[in-house]
């Protein structure tokens, strides 16, 4: 009942460099030896035939991400522009632009210029600025009364021995905006057996299903369910898991049980052959390295593709996904708040059915002791919660530990969990690291605290992987003695490509911060991470 046409073969061009090449997407030009230094606009063009049999369908052009801005044309007609958010999905209705029974010319203008009207802001970010159609693109065709989306929200009333009972609220919408007779099926993903089936006469915005003894999703038992909604003309499915995440005092509870969030951050887009257009196979290699090191938790500084979260759902890896607001401007204006809300809308709309995502992040290292940052964090925590009550919301601070701020407020204390980047003795000088750490953690007394980064960045700091391993061992021993530390994030799994890196040039420009190299080859500190 639904059809899709992949858009993966394009003619790529940069007019000002008089450069043209045939490429496949996902693609970024910033790993191409011929044009890797280009920051600006580039074009993608392709032609696709659309069969006459689809003429009664609604047509959409869909992109999982174009960095950082995209203008889209079909048959020389402007379709729309997606801007201010280079890592979130988007789509446009192109029903009246398509030629059915003929060829259709599609053109995308991508732009990766550093600008103020986006998050990340200007060049204030610590990862690669790879331009292009960096994720999947396709034409989608569906009935004119198709299900536009399904969003699942569980209300768990009781749970025991990995099973739960409660109700499931499905928020729905149809393309024609009308109510429809619909059958809803809940299907166990592991054995394809239907566990709930119910027909509703007038589904418009939401339906509620009661359930008994369904399996809970957790790190160690990542049970998943398909939810299918079928009408006279359409069949649409999502996949989700049933779980709760909450804070009680200084504890973090997953499904009502306290959990310690031991983790490691991975910086995607770092393989020099692929950049931000990394194939899923390499991403899975890196995600497996996290799991094989015993991690239950990771965080992403910028939004990722559904396919990565699908793997995390299937393998029980918990995630914090963040708005890529890093470093500057320290004083968020109404523009940054507006962009952050746009990105929050897109994150919740496209990613809210992934049980692996337990935290939304609103920013990283923004000068958290200042009133503008505190106001920004409070506003964004409240905004995320108004969109999505199933998750916790946090801000990552690098100022909680500053001696000169001992009596000052800090924005991370306005999230559900305090998150602190610990670089004592490195980026932040300290005469007595453990005493300094204890003072810092006391500022978050009464709430859980996660060390959201710690590690060694070369070549700014010396000692190589031997020193990195020493820091890892020393810090874990210190963290174990502080009661309200409820998790930590080793930074990072990999050396990573970044436009502001101190090592290498062009597509090899990087920070040597990892326990694996750019290609995913493991260093001795990775094996120590596994042992510890």
pLDDT tens digits, residue range 202-228?
Answer: 999 999 999 999 999 999 999 999 999
Query: What contacts 24+ positions apart, CB below 8 Å, involve 520-528?
Result: 520/271, 520/282, 520/285, 520/286, 520/289, 520/494, 522/289, 523/465, 523/468, 524/465, 524/466, 524/469, 525/465, 525/468, 525/469, 525/472, 526/289, 526/293, 526/493, 528/469, 528/472, 528/473
Checking if the pLDDT of 77 tops 90, the result is yes
Checking if the pLDDT of 421 tops 80, the result is yes
Cα–Cα distance, 225 to 237 (Å, whole number): 10
Both tokens of 469, joined, read 């391993």
* Cβ atoms of residues 25 and 277 within 8 Å: yes
Q: Which of 45, 44, 39, 118 is nearest to 86 (CA)?
A: 118
- Banded model confidence at residue 320, pLDDT cuts 50, 70, 90: very high
Domain with CATH 2.60.120.260 in the chain: 3-142
Cα–Cα distance, 176 to 131 (Å, whole number): 35
CATH number assigned to the domain with residue range 3-142, chosen from the 4 options 2.60.120.260, 1.10.40.50, 3.40.50.300, 3.40.630.30: 2.60.120.260
DSSP H or E run through 439: helix 433-443
Domain with CATH 3.20.20.80 in the chain: 266-488
What pLDDT does residue 181 have?
97
Report how many helices (DSSP H) and strands (DSSP E) the chain contains, helices first. 7, 30
Q: 266-488, what's its fold?
A: TIM Barrel (3.20.20)
Cα–Cα distance, 340 to 373 (Å, whole number): 13
* Cβ atoms of residues 130 and 112 within 8 Å: yes
DSSP H or E run through 452: strand 449-454
Q: Which ranges of 231-370 would DSSP assign to H, the alpha helix? A: 280-292, 306-315, 334-351
Nearest-5° angle of CA 310, CA 314, CA 315?
Answer: 115
The DSSP symbol for 285 reads: H
What pLDDT does residue 408 have?
81
Task: State what percent of residues in the chain have pLDDT above 90.
Answer: 99
Cα–Cα distance, 157 to 212 (Å, whole number): 10
What pLDDT does residue 332 have?
95
Cα–Cα distance, 360 to 198 (Å, whole number): 33
Cα–Cα distance, 485 to 352 (Å, whole number): 27
Both tokens of 259, joined, read 């959990």
pLDDT tens digits, residue range 168-187?
Answer: 999 999 999 999 999 999 99
pLDDT tens digits, residue range 343-386?
Answer: 999 999 999 999 999 999 999 999 999 999 999 999 999 999 99
What pLDDT does residue 407 have?
74
What pLDDT does residue 464 have?
97
pLDDT tens digits, residue range 475-517?
Answer: 999 999 999 999 999 999 999 999 999 999 999 999 999 999 9
- Using alpha carbons, list the distances in angstroms from residue 292 to 235, 284, 295, 532: 38, 12, 7, 12
The model's pTM: 0.98
Residue 98: strand, helix, or coil: coil
- Banded model confidence at residue 403, pLDDT cuts 50, 70, 90: confident
pLDDT tens digits, residue range 22-55?
Answer: 999 999 999 999 999 999 999 999 999 999 999 9
- Banded model confidence at residue 70, pLDDT cuts 50, 70, 90: very high
Q: What is the mean pLDDT of the chain?
A: 97
Cα–Cα distance, 473 to 466 (Å, whole number): 11
Task: State what percent of residues in the chain have pLDDT above 70.
Answer: 100
> Phi then psi for 75, rounded to 5 degrees?
50, 45
What pLDDT does residue 333 have?
95
What pLDDT does residue 378 have?
98
Quickly list DSSP for 321-354: EE---BS--SS--HHHHHHHHHHHHHHHHHHTT-
What pLDDT does residue 331 have?
92
Strands 510-511 and 496-497: antiparallel
Cα–Cα distance, 354 to 356 (Å, whole number): 5
DSSP H or E run through 381: helix 371-387
Cα–Cα distance, 423 to 334 (Å, whole number): 31
What pLDDT does residue 392 have?
98
Cα–Cα distance, 395 to 441 (Å, whole number): 16
Domain with CATH 2.60.40.10 in the chain: 147-246
- Banded model confidence at residue 231, pLDDT cuts 50, 70, 90: very high
What pLDDT does residue 277 have?
98
Both tokens of 423, joined, read 């670089």
Checking if the pLDDT of 431 tops 80, the result is yes
- Banded model confidence at residue 234, pLDDT cuts 50, 70, 90: very high
- Banded model confidence at residue 139, pLDDT cuts 50, 70, 90: very high
* Cβ atoms of residues 277 and 132 within 8 Å: yes
What pLDDT does residue 532 have?
95
pLDDT tens digits, residue range 247-294?
Answer: 999 999 999 999 999 999 999 999 999 999 999 999 999 999 999 999
CATH number 3.40.50.300 given to 147-246: no
Average pLDDT for 104-121: 98
């Amino acid at each position: 009942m639904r059809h899709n046409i992949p858009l993966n073969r394009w003619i790529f061009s940069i007019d000002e460099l008089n450069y043209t090449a045939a490429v496949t997407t996902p693609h970024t030009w910033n790993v191409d030896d011929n044009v890797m230094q280009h920051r600006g606009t580039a074009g993608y063009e392709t032609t696709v035939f659309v069969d006459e049999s689809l003429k009664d369908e609604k047509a959409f052009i869909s992109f999982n991400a174009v960095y950082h801005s995209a203008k889209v044309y079909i048959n020389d007609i402007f379709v729309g522009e997606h801007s201010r958010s280079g890592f979130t999905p988007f789509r446009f209705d192109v029903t009246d632009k398509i030629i059915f029974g003929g060829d259709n010319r599609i053109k995308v203008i991508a732009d990766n210029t550093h600008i103020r009207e986006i998050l990340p802001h200007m060049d204030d970010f610590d990862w690669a600025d790879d331009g292009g159609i960096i994720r999947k693109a396709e034409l989608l065709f569906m009935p004119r009364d198709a299900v536009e989306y399904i969003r699942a929200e569980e209300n768990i009333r009781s749970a025991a021995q990995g099973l739960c009972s409660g109700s499931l609220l499905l928020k729905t919408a149809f393309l024609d905006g009308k109510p429809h007779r619909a059958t809803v099926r809940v299907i166990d993903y592991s054995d394809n057996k239907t566990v709930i089936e119910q027909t509703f006469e007038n589904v418009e915005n939401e339906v509620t299903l009661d359930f008994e003894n369904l399996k809970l999703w957790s790190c160690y038992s990542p049970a998943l369910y398909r939810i299918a909604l079928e009408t006279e003309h359409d069949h649409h499915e999502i996949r989700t898991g049933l779980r709760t995440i909450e804070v009680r005092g200084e504890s973090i509870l997953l499904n009502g049980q306290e959990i310690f969030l031991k983790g490691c951050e991975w910086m995607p887009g770092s393989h020099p052959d692929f950049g931000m257009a990394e194939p899923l196979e390499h991403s899975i290699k890196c995600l497996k390295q996290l799991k094989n090191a015993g991690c239950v938790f990771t965080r992403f500084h910028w939004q990722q593709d559904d396919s990565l979260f699908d793997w995390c759902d299937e393998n029980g890896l918990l995630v914090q996904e963040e708005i890529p607001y890093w470093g500057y401007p320290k004083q968020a204006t109404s523009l940054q708040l507006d962009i952050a809300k746009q990105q929050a809308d897109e994150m919740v709309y496209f990613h809210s059915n992934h049980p692996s995502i337990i935290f939304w992040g609103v920013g990283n290292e923004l000068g958290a002791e200042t009133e503008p940052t505190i106001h920004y964090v409070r506003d964004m925590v409240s905004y995320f919660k108004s969109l999505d009550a199933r998750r916790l919301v946090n801000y990552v601070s690098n100022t909680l530990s500053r001696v000169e701020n001992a009596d000052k407020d800090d924005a991370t204390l306005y999230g559900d969990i305090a998150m602190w980047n610990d670089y004592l003795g490195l980026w932040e000088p300290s005469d007595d690291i453990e005493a300094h750490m204890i003072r810092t953690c006391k500022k978050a007394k009464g709430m859980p605290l996660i060390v959201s980064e710690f590690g060694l960045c070369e070549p700014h700091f010396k000692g190589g992987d031997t020193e990195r391993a020493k820091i890892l061992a020393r810090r874990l021993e210190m963290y174990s003695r502080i009661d309200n530390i409820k998790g930590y994030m080793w930074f990072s799994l990999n050396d990573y490509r970044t436009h502001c890196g101190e090592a290498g040039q062009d597509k090899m420009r990087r920070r040597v911060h990892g326990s694996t190299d750019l290609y995913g080859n493991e260093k001795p500190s990775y094996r120590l991470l596994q042992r510890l």
